[in-house]
A and B are shown apart, each in its own frame.
Chain A
Amino acid sequence: MNNLVVLPMVIPVLAGILFVFFRYQITLQRWISFIVMVGNIGIAAYLLYLNQIEGIQRIDFSGWKPPFGISFVADSFSLILVLITSLVAAICLVYAFSSIGEEREKMYFYSFVNFLVAGVNGSFLTGDLFNLYVCFEIMLLASYVLIALGGEKAQLRESIKYVLINVLSSWFFLVAIAYLYGSVGTLSMAHISERIAEVGQTPLLTVISIVFLTVFALKAGLLLYFWLPGSYSIAPTAVAALFGALLTKVGIYAMFRVFTLFFYHDHSITHTFITVLAALTLIGGSIGAVAYKDIRLIVTYNVVIAVGFILVGLAVATPEALEGSIYYLMHDMIVKALLFLIAGTMIAVTGTTRIDEMSGLIRNYPLLGWMFFIVMLSLAGIPPLSGFIGKVLVGQGAIEAESYILLALAFISSIFVLYSLLRVFLQCFWGETIISSEDEVPMKKGWIIPCAILTIATIVLGLGAEIIFPYVSDAANTLLNPSDYIDAVLTQD
């Protein structure tokens, strides 16, 4: 029992509710929501440290022992993700302070950001399947509002599609839960895993696993990503950065949980499915990333490629590959937030979204340009930066599992990432400058500082791989040995 485990979800919820009463005190809302996120970083870091000493932490609500009550379970994988989520949310909030505009701030913007983070953290920490559904809905409802907030034509149009596709995937989730409850008769994740291990993975359970795969593929944008580019490219920059960094990652997390904890018995069917989906996602994302001249679309298709890449690790499921995926997941959350923020800043200073209308920005905004350069190298996986170690480990895992086609696709997709971003870099930052020094939009500190912090974070994550490694390898270990998780949850203390 450790009451700290629930705090990353509870504190943002309470803050969000508090803001309803202080609608016009924007400064207060800004400060409190920033402090909440920083506090969450501290809590997650402390829990991560505790995890190394005492093992997996959990809390049973109102003393009901699992499997009868709902519990929150914090293993290294969840906590790493909570930590990065809080970091990214804090930085996106700083960006939002100077970019989102007073109109939106007065319409409960910070409440909804807090609810979004609460939903994301809850999804990472929960140990109950139906509770996972509820946390997904908290997160999604907040995201529906954030995407439509402001009520511009394009926003309304895309938000309708976004809401509809998510209603459909929630329906899939409900039906999948119903099927699973009908066949194993429990909802606690550890208990489900235990019961599936007892009866063996019958064909019926394999079918249910495919339904789960559909659900999380829709949420994460694994092949079923047709809704993603539209809805992620019309939101305001800070919101788009939050979405790009957090929302699809929750789907990926859920997929990792489900396919390492419940359905790990019949690799030949489920993992072949994931392999094919990951391969197609890599191909589709790569084509999308090089096809467009709208910088927002290039960036959103890069999200799709990353989803495919992370799922390669799950598809081959060797220890190295899982470590690599977890590493890449951390890196991707930070770098995607940074990429969205830089792209948004470029749009803000030039007033256009098309890359063939921008040129020579490096003259006016050198710092922004070099940060974009670093992001590009980091995403492509150039050694000192954070993308490298994840790619190497995933590649190593794929070689061990002898899935060479997947390996080739994963690494060729890196070239496409590099090409798509290099195109943006050369087109927008190099060349003849289009902005004269008179009508140059001054770069706000609130724009450049969040980007700088994230750039430092990606460098630190790359250089400090050795320090982070024990946590990552612990997370991969728990994923590979479901018995650790089950023992931690179902032992009565």
Chain B
Amino acid sequence: MEILIIILSGVLFTTAIYNLLQKQLLRIIIGTVLLSHGAHLMILTMGKLKTGLPPVLTEGVTDYTDPLPQALILTSIVISFGITGLLLVLAYRTTQENNTDNMEQLRGKSNE
């Protein structure tokens, strides 16, 4: 199971990096979102995907999944959500001010 998920996060990383290298701003942001998805999957996989019950204390159950990666992922989901929100607004403002969403054109003195 771990192998499958690792391949999946590898595919996510590949698409993410392809998108990050594009010129259009929105595609780049989609790239960052995919990147964080892949990282979160990776954390989950690294905590071992043992079969077990959800980590909620119940009578008579001794076999739980590892609760720590889930807490880590929850934290990092919120952080990347915040950053994505900021990035989207920033991209919107940049596009408005500079009249372009093409990263190739967003450089040099001409845009100052």
> Real complex partners, A and B?
yes
Pairwise interchain contact A156-B97, C-beta atoms closer than 8 A? yes
Chain A residues bordering chain B, tally (CB within 8 A)? 29
Pairwise interchain contact A181-B46, C-beta atoms closer than 8 A? yes
Instruction: Specify the chain A residue showing the minimal Cβ separation from B36.
Output: A171
Flag whether A151 is at the interface (Cβ < 8 A).
Answer: yes
Flag whether B47 is at the interface (Cβ < 8 A).
Answer: yes
CB-defined A-B contacts under 8 Å, sample of 22: A130-B75, A144-B86, A145-B86, A148-B93, A157-B107, A159-B90, A160-B87, A163-B90, A164-B28, A164-B32, A167-B32, A167-B80, A168-B20, A171-B32, A171-B36, A174-B36, A178-B39, A178-B45, A178-B46, A179-B46, A182-B47, A182-B48
Interface residues of B (CB under 8 A from A): 20, 25, 28, 32, 35-36, 38-40, 42-43, 45-48, 68-69, 72, 75-76, 79-80, 82-83, 86-87, 90-91, 93-94, 97-98, 106-107, 111-112
Evaluate whether A151 and B93 lie within 8 angstroms (CB atoms) in the complex, with A167-B83, A181-B46 already known.
Answer: yes
Pairwise interchain contact B46-A160, C-beta atoms closer than 8 A? no
Flag whether A435 is at the interface (Cβ < 8 A).
Answer: no
B interface SS class: helix
For the complex formed, measure the closest distance between the CB of B95 and the CB atoms of chain A, giving whole angstroms: 9
Write out the residue numbers on chain B whose beta carbons fall within 8 Å of the beta carbon of A144: 83, 86, 90
Flag whether A220 is at the interface (Cβ < 8 A).
Answer: no
Flag whether A196 is at the interface (Cβ < 8 A).
Answer: no
Q: List residues 112-145 of chain A with CB under 8 A from any CB of chain B.
A: 130, 133-134, 137, 141, 144-145
Instruction: Specify the chain B residue showing the minimal Cβ separation from A182.
Output: B46
Which 5 A/B pairs are nearest by Cβ-Cβ distance?
Answer: A182-B46, A174-B39, A178-B46, A178-B43, A156-B94
Pairwise interchain contact B93-A167, C-beta atoms closer than 8 A? no
Write out the residue numbers on chain B whose beta carbons fall within 8 Å of the beta carbon of A148: 90, 93
A174 contact from B47, B76, B91, Cβ within 8 A: B76
Write out the residue numbers on chain B whose beta carbons fall within 8 Å of the beta carbon of A134: 75, 79
For the complex formed, measure the closest distance between the CB of B78 and the CB atoms of chain A, giving whole angstroms: 10
Write out the residue numbers on chain A whose beta carbons fall within 8 Å of the beta carbon of B45: 178, 182
For the complex formed, measure the closest distance between the CB of A182 and the CB atoms of chain B, giving whole angstroms: 3
For the complex formed, measure the closest distance between the CB of B41 and the CB atoms of chain A, giving whole angstroms: 9
B94 contact from A157, A167, A171, A178, Cβ within 8 A: A157
Flag whether A398 is at the interface (Cβ < 8 A).
Answer: no
- Cα A333 to Cα B18 in complex, Å, equals 38
- Cα A168 to Cα B35 in complex, Å, equals 8
Pairwise interchain contact B97-A141, C-beta atoms closer than 8 A? no
Pairwise interchain contact A130-B98, C-beta atoms closer than 8 A? no
For the complex formed, measure the closest distance between the CB of A356 and the CB atoms of chain B, giving whole angstroms: 16
Flag whether A175 is at the interface (Cβ < 8 A).
Answer: yes
Flag whether A405 is at the interface (Cβ < 8 A).
Answer: no
Write out the residue numbers on chain B whose beta carbons fall within 8 Å of the beta carbon of A167: 32, 35-36, 80, 83, 87
- Cα A411 to Cα B76 in complex, Å, equals 42
Per-residue CB contact flags for chain A residues 338-372 toward chain B (1 = under 8 Å, else 0) read 00000000000000000000000000000000000
- Cα A148 to Cα B87 in complex, Å, equals 11
- Cα A175 to Cα B106 in complex, Å, equals 30
Pairwise interchain contact B90-A156, C-beta atoms closer than 8 A? yes
Flag whether A153 is at the interface (Cβ < 8 A).
Answer: yes
Pairwise interchain contact B112-A153, C-beta atoms closer than 8 A? yes
- Cα A287 to Cα B78 in complex, Å, equals 41
